Structure 1
């Protein structure tokens, strides 16, 4: 079972923050557990810090870890909603096609809205892609790499 976790950009300085999501007094907030692992079953908020976040940047953890390239190094990192990913899966006749797309949540599932190398648009289930390609890689996100997101969605 995946842990429920969110991230969002803080209103103060635009830094990414990870934790629990809530709406308080009309604001979107991420709550960070200051005593990691303690009071797991308690619902008190005494040991939490609250950060106001930009609502459009809030994304849920997908439960998957995929590759992130940093220079020549690659490491596994958590995949969140609104991340842009690249992957390769076969088409209907078995030809391997490269895709770049944006992960989003809809109807109780994570999906990828993307285009392939031939310019064909498509919607793919994230779990299906993860099963077919063990080299899925994060290439950015819709909030830090706006030009990539716009290029994906203009196709």
Structure 2
């Protein structure tokens, strides 16, 4: 799997994170685990390759930046991060006007391209750790 094409979201049934490919099937937003979809049987919830199709909470959908943090973990949209040259926390966001990832907090927005992923430490995300954003 190419990391930059991955998405994650919380499962609709139990709220746990699921990673894979994002799709809209039959009007429902899902994550397809394992590999790209070729065929899907809506009534059975299965496809020709045996991938797991998971209904998600669309408000929690996050795209992968394709970069890894200093700990070797993937960095996702909506992650809360620290940077070596800054004291504040930042959130990874997608700038749809310029089609690129950026970082922002209450006082600044900057291109994520200005930082190397390995310089970034992920300390949480806005869904599981909203209290971190209150401190920023």
CA distance in 2, matches of 1:59, 1:103: 10
- Between the two proteins, the alignment pairs up a number of residues equal to 125
Cα distance, 1:2 vs. partner?
Answer: 5.4
Native 8 Å contact 1:6 1:60 kept in 2: yes
Whichever of the two has the greater Rg, that structure is 1
1-structure distance, mates of 2:27, 2:127: 22
TM-score, structure 2 length as denominator?
0.80
Please list, as runs of the form range in 1=range in 2, the aligned pairs for 1:13-92 lying within 5 A after superposition.
13-33=14-34, 43-44=38-39, 45-47=47-49, 48-67=51-70, 75-89=71-85
TM-score, normalization by structure 1 = 0.71
The structure carrying a bigger strand percent of its residues is 1
1:60-139 correspondence to structure 2 within 5 Å? 60-67=63-70, 75-89=71-85, 97-107=86-96, 108-115=99-106, 121-130=107-116, 134-139=118-123
Q: Match of 2:42?
A: none
**Is residue 88–residue 99 contact of structure 1 (8 Å, CA) maintained in 2?**
no
Provide the rounded CA distance (Å) in 2 between the counterparts of 1:99 and 1:151.
Answer: 8
Contiguous gaps of at least 5 residues in structure 2: 40-46
What's the Cα RMSD here?
A: 2.1
Q: 2:130 corresponds to which residue?
A: 146
